[in-house]
């Protein structure tokens, strides 16, 4: 993100310079470039349409934008309205912290009540069908390794796709380090089937962990060969959607694999509390305690999930 930041001269308004600082902080905390891009588009459209600096923005201005028709020309759904309000409110909270404005116009606006669809996870049989359609080409072996790693670790897409060779450690067992939500660093056991799939994938690309630079991506791509960069999140998402279609499974995003990880753990006999810890889904205080207990410790749950998947 830092390389994309536009440097303004000193004559530029403080809030315009703060805009890019806000996006940089958002990427650092979320670990997701897609989130940053979405925030950037929303804010640029809001201020570009309104034609006012932040200190002149009123609650009605925000309300009209949040509830108005977007580029698609359709009436926004509750979840879209909520996302627009969350984005603008987050930016104003940042401006308040920077002492650029003194109030948040979103505070006076009631958030719409959305009814999101309940999360669903793939069954073991559905995951086997998904894996079965992935070819044994270098790209296919790489994608298979990503799918297995997502299912067996329960991590988010960005947390896995951002993994580098230096994140894998075989000292005293197999472990991986990752940057979680909020930029927190964590360390977990790397399930053996996931590690073996990663090794098979790298071998197909003529690579091996021992010879790779620490910053080299675990997920090679022909389009980015030679510079250590790896498969982009957007490209994997598109490939994953095609695999789902080929396996005759309902369309879904990559996050369904995280839901599947939780579902399979629960079906394998783990308690709700264990699954919550596995997913880092606790309150901040409780999560901190659990992360200390889990940090670098043995993960006994992946074996049962791997058995039911037959990997």
Q: Average pLDDT for residues 228-255, to the nearest whole number?
A: 92
Residue 2's pLDDT band (boundaries 50, 70, 90)?
Answer: very low
User: Hey, what domains does the chain have and what are their CATH numbers?
Assistant: 2-108 (1.10.150.130), 124-309 (1.10.443.10)
For range 87-91, the mean pLDDT: 96
Confidence of residue 72 (pLDDT cuts 50, 70, 90): confident
Express each pLDDT in 12-37 by its tens digit: 788 888 999 999 998 887 767 788 89
Give 102-116 pLDDT, tens digit per residue.
999 999 999 887 665
For residue 224, the model assigns a pLDDT of 64
Model confidence pLDDT, tens digit, residues 31-63 = 677 888 999 999 999 999 999 999 999 999 999
- State how far the Cα of 247 lies from the Cα of 240, in Å rounded to an integer: 11
Q: Is the pLDDT of residue 5 over 80?
A: no
Q: pLDDT tier at 292 (50, 70, 90 boundaries)?
A: very low
pLDDT of 285 > 80? The answer is: no
Q: Residue 291: its pLDDT value, please? A: 32
Average pLDDT for 175-194: 89
User: Which of the four pLDDT bands, split at 50, 70 and 90, describes residue 95?
Assistant: very high
CB contact set of 25 (below 8 Å; sequence gap of 6+): 94
In tens, the pLDDT along 254-280 reads: 999 988 888 888 888 887 778 777 887
Residue 134 DSSP class: S
Tell me the pLDDT of the chain averaged across its residues: 85
Residues 6+ apart with CB under 8 A from 152: 191, 193, 194, 261, 302, 305, 306
Q: Which of 118, 93, 105, 69 is nearest to 259 (CA)?
A: 118
- Answer whether residue 117 shows pLDDT above 50: yes
- The pTM of this model reads 0.62
Report residue 92 as tokens.
Answer: 């104003």
Q: Highest mean pLDDT: which of 66-75, 212-221, 257-266?
A: 212-221
């Amino acid at each position: 993100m830092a390389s994309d930041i536009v440097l303004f001269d000193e004559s530029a308004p403080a809030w315009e310079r703060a805009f890019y600082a806000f996006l940089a902080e958002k990427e650092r905390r979320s670990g997701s470039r897609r989130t940053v891009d979405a925030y950037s588009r929303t804010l640029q459209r809001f201020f570009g349409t309104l034609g006012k600096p932040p200190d002149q923005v009123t609650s009605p201005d925000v309300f009209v934008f949040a509830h108005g028709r977007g580029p698609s020309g359709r009436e926004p759904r509750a979840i879209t309205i909520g996302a627009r309000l969350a984005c603008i409110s987050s930016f104003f909270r940042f401006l308040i912290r920077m002492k650029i404005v003194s109030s948040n116009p979103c505070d006076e606006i009631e958030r719409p009540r959305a009814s999101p669809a309940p999360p669903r996870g793939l069954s073991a049989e559905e995951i086997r069908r998904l894996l079965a359609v992935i070819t044994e080409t270098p790209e296919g072996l790489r994608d298979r390794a990503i799918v297995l790693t997502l299912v067996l670790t329960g991590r988010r897409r960005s947390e896995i796709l951002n993994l580098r060779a230096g994140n894998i450690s075989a000292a005293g067992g197999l472990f991986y380090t990752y940057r979680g939500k909020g930029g927190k660093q964590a360390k977990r056991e790397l399930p053996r089937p996931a590690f073996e799939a990663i090794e098979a994938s790298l071998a197909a690309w003529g690579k091996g962990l021992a010879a790779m630079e620490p910053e080299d991506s675990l997920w090679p791509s022909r389009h980015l060969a030679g510079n250590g960069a790896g498969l982009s999140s957007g490209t994997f998402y598109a490939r994953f959607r095609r695999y789902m279609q080929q396996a005759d499974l309902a369309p879904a995003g990559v996050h369904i694999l995280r839901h599947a990880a939780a579902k399979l753990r629960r079906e394998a006999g783990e308690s709700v509390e264990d699954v919550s810890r596995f997913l880092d889904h606790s309150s901040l205080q409780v999560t901190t305690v659990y992360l200390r207990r889990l940090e670098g410790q043995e993960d006994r749950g992946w074996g049962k999930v791997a058995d039911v998947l037959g990997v």
